[in-house]
Amino acid sequence: MTMLYDNLRKFKPRGYPVKHKRKEPFNPSILVPNGYFERIRRIRELDLEMDRFILTGKDYEDFIIEAYSSNVHWSTKLEGNPLLEEEVKRLTIRTFQGDIEETPGGPRQEILNHLVQMAFPDQFKLPWDHELILTLHGYLLENTGISFNPGIYRDVDVTVQDDGGNNLLIPAPTDKIEEEMQFLLDWINKKALAYESITAATVLFHEFESIHPFQDGNGRIGRCLFHLFLQNTDLKNSHLCKIESHLLKDEELYYQLLAYTDETGSYTELIDLVSRAMVNSYEEANATLSGKDLLSSNLDESSKTLLKKAKRIGEWFSVEDATNWVDGIGEQSIRKRLNDFVKIGAFNKTGKTRSCRYIFNDPFKKIRQEMIIKFNLDKSIIEGGKGSTI
């Protein structure tokens, strides 16, 4: 790995700026790197393992906040958002607790916009079209202080520059943007699902960045599309991993690989970087969850059965219902265990005595409900799913 990336650092294209290559239709030739399938198997194992863990409400909420604030911070920081990671985390906590600023504007608005989008991937299920892309761009950049109207493909030719003002990329010309975006959308909707999801997400991300359809915000939108594709295909827990921090920590290498892919047409090296970042982020997330997992504690097997069953059904249940889940334990003993879980925040409770009901505490579901009310969102976007997202 070190030798490969050391060589890439020495890569110099035939001459900057690299020029976007028109692909009509978009039908990339893709080779995966050595060791890729072992990484993918590991990522899939870890994604499934994340469904097994059961945390207290507080631990689960803290875990969500850490992942979301980290991903939003790293993605927006790369594009010039000045807020420090701790500031982003504080804003994330306030937002997820329903204490949302009405019109923060500027950098804070950008963070808030990203949090809302990330919390509701249900709005961006495949197939995708131009309207979805434009809507996502408009939403993420609304009221952030940009000097042009968000949600519109650019109408001027631009170049991508480094901090020193040197041109790095000449993207698609203005009069070809909609056509080339249609080529990419056709590939996403008709062919991408034939590939492993990380491969497809990486390729679509790169082509989107190469077309560069907007005057500003292309990196942020592209990374959002990357995450949305993963969540809406087969890696539903990817949003709980700090992928961006592992992917973007070496900014020079990240941009070098984008240029290398444009110049050579090879996606192998970029897929290698992304898949390694994802393995590391999944390993990190699972280590954190494992250390807080109630099922790994010294609880007896009957108590663990109560936790697993309550999480699986995701609905209100009675003491009588819970008594039927385990053998050889009376209602009074079951009631005590359920109330103990309420005390540590694993369950929520309503009613008293015979009318008492319990439910597995899913803070993320509550977070989404609070945001739906605050932002006047369509309630249907959280319907259809039961139980916890972990």
| For range 69-73, the mean pLDDT | 97
Provide the pLDDT for residue 237: 95
Structure tokens at 312: 């699986």
Please report which confidence band the pLDDT of residue 163 belongs to, taking 50, 70 and 90 as the band edges: confident
Q: Which residues pair with 357 in a beta bridge?
A: 350
**Does 122 score more than 90 pLDDT?**
no
User: If you search the block for the tokens 């072992």, which residue do you land on?
Assistant: 38
Provide the pLDDT for residue 1: 52
Provide the pLDDT for residue 66: 97
**Does 147 score more than 70 pLDDT?**
yes
**Would you list the domain boundaries of the chain?**
2-292, 301-375
Contact 295, 51 (CB under 8 A): no
**Does 389 score more than 50 pLDDT?**
no
Give every strand in the sheet of 18-19, ordered side by side: 18-19, 167-170, 160-161
Provide the pLDDT for residue 6: 58
Nearest to 252 by CA among 2, 52, 9: 9
Please report which confidence band the pLDDT of residue 101 belongs to, taking 50, 70 and 90 as the band edges: low
Provide the pLDDT for residue 370: 79
CATH code for the part of the protein at 301-375: 1.10.10.10
Q: pLDDT tens digits for 341-354?
A: 999 999 999 998 88
Provide the pLDDT for residue 244: 97
Please give the CATH architecture assigned to the domain spanning 2-292.
Answer: Orthogonal Bundle (1.10)
**Does 12 score more than 70 pLDDT?**
no
pTM, 2 dp: 0.91
Provide the pLDDT for residue 81: 95
What contacts 17, CB < 8 A, 6 or more positions away? 159, 160, 167, 168, 169, 170
Q: pLDDT tens digits for 182-199?
A: 999 999 999 999 999 999
Q: pLDDT tens digits for 26-42?
A: 999 999 999 999 999 99
Structure tokens at 95: 């937002």
Asked which of 15-19, 221-225, 355-359 is least confident by mean pLDDT, the reply is: 15-19
